[in-house]
Amino acid sequence: MDCIFCKIIEGHIPAEKVYEDDFFIAILDINPVNKGHLLVLPKKHSENIFDLDEPELSQVMVVIKKLSKILMDTLNAEGINIIQNNCKAAGQIIFHSHFHIIPRYTGDGIKIGTVHGKYNEGEIKDFANRIREGIRK
């Protein structure tokens, strides 16, 4: 397997590791949105969120919460973005599950979560119904 994150986890590629337990590591992103931007990586290779089992997904959120609080406290961050991209169309570049924790500051100029579009008349109900139907299956 030619996965850069697996190579980092195995110690074959250097990274600034800030956290490690039996299941996850967290490293500083080398191309940060803001300084202190972390990547939380499951040690077990999985391509995206759909490959993570539920206990693993629950535990990674505990780690993300802990690290988010640490970023708030140690970097004086005023907020945190937690981002996880799945599949190429959603912007996933490295196909090993990972979560971004981005420290945020008032006036930092980063635009995440801005309004991009609106539903046409009646369209929101159609989408809601389609999603509800998928949940019932």
Give the DSSP H/E element, type plus range, for residue 63: helix 54-74
SS3 state at 111: coil
116 is catalytic: no
* Nearest CA-CA partner of 54 in 65, 68, 42: 42
Catalytic position from the list 37, 96, 98, 100? 98
What are the two backbone dihedrals, phi and then psi, of residue 55, each rounded to the nearest 5 degrees? -60, -40
CB atoms within 10 A of CB 50: 9
**CA-CA distance, 129 to 133, in Å (whole number)?**
6
Residues identified as active-site: 98
